[in-house]
Amino acid sequence: MRDLAQGRLGARVRASLDCPGQDPLREDLDGICDALNTLGEELQATVVSRNEYERALRELAQAQTQLVHAAKLAAIGQLAAGVAHELNQPLQIIALTLDELRDAVLAGDQNDTLEFLDLIEAQVTRGGTVVGRLLTFSRKDDAGGAALISINDVVTKAMGVLRAQCAASGIQIEERLDPNICPIPCKGGELLQVVANLVINARDALLDTAAPVIVVQTFSEDNCIGIEVSDNGPGIAGADLERIFEPFYTTKSIGVGTGLGLSIVHGIVDRHGGTIEVHSELGHGARLRVVLPK
């Protein structure tokens, strides 16, 4: 009995008392022993179930993290064309400048040589900035807690990568950042993914739209702040609105998107204690509004 009391749930109580002439007492003690043994078995099963439950939760959290990162990499694949375009411009300038630099060196013109070297250095820095912004998307968030981050900074970083790709598709981008936004505790990499997925979805919806426009803005209201992405595309049908956050649900053509973007966005926003709202009518564009607590 002492073993059970000390937490050794595999122990069992044995009714081996010798009580001659006291059969009722023996029966009572046997009943108590049986009850204690049954309780010990139930507690042992409960502990095993709890351990299995906790292990399942850990595995689920790990799988969720891997899924978020996989969706992030899928988004990066969609950004590749825009990044290639951004990198191509400084590379072309460097190639042209090298010809001029070679002539300046052969002519012994020190001033032109230094000027061309400065120009090449500036383009190398420009290219490094483009790559750095892309790496920001691919990098996994630290396993630690959240940090104080301004969502204005998050939007600026995201649009640094997305703007060129949208421009290549003929889409006008408008940024409207609320100057009164205060930093909030969050995971910047995850919110970066939220903005990227919302803008990519808007971009894909505008492929057949004349004079396409995407508006990305931040706002501050009472005890919350947020990010809103709207477009002037074809809008979303009511039946699709009900399923828009379901994993793998998509209305895009085969080979375009994964159907995970908005599902991942919903999960990230939920983990940050926020909500996401969708406002849309067919023929009147769409507006997705992420609301986060301060």
Model pLDDT, residue 5: 47
Mean pLDDT to the nearest integer, 136-140: 57
pTM: 0.58
Residue 1 lies in a domain: no
Q: Which two tokens stand for residue 166?
A: 């949208």
Mean pLDDT to the nearest integer, 95-116: 88
Q: Between 272 and 238, whose confidence is greater?
A: 272
Model pLDDT, residue 255: 47
Clarify whether residues 84 and 202 are in a common domain: no
Clarify whether residues 92 and 218 are in a common domain: no
Clarify whether residues 176 and 194 are in a common domain: yes
How far is Cα 80 from Cα 60, in angstroms, rounded to an integer? 30
Mean pLDDT to the nearest integer, 59-71: 62
Mean pLDDT to the nearest integer, 211-227: 94
Clarify whether residues 282 and 153 are in a common domain: yes
Model pLDDT, residue 166: 85
Residue 129 lies in a domain: yes
Domain boundary (98, 119, 138) is at 138
Number of helices and strands (H, E) in the chain? 7, 7
**Triad 270, 272, 275: Cα angle to 5°:** 45
Clarify whether residues 168 and 128 are in a common domain: no
Residue 25 lies in a domain: no
CATH number at 211 reads: 3.30.565.10
Clarify whether residues 115 and 212 are in a common domain: no
Domain boundary (87, 113, 138) is at 138
Total of domains in the chain: 2
Clarify whether residues 152 and 134 are in a common domain: no
pLDDT at 96 over 70: yes
Q: Between 86 and 208, whose confidence is greater?
A: 208
Residue 43 lies in a domain: no
Mean pLDDT of the chain: 77
Q: Between 3 and 289, whose confidence is greater?
A: 289
Mean pLDDT to the nearest integer, 199-225: 91
Identity of the residue numbered 142:
D
Confidence class for position 1, pLDDT limits 50, 70, 90: very low
Clarify whether residues 132 and 114 are in a common domain: yes
In angstroms, how far is the first alpha carbon of the chain from the final one? 53
Model pLDDT, residue 273: 92
Domain boundary (87, 116, 138) is at 138
In eight-state DSSP terms, residue 177 is -
For the stretch 21-43, pLDDT in tens is 555 555 656 666 676 667 767 76
Helix (H, G, I), strand (E, B) or coil at 253: coil
Lowest mean pLDDT segment, chosen from 127-131, 184-188, 204-208, 257-261: 257-261
Clarify whether residues 155 and 179 are in a common domain: yes
List the domain range (segments joined by +) for residue 278. 148-293
Clarify whether residues 285 and 172 are in a common domain: yes
Residue 170 lies in a domain: yes
* Closest C-alpha among 24, 59, 65 to residue 271: 65
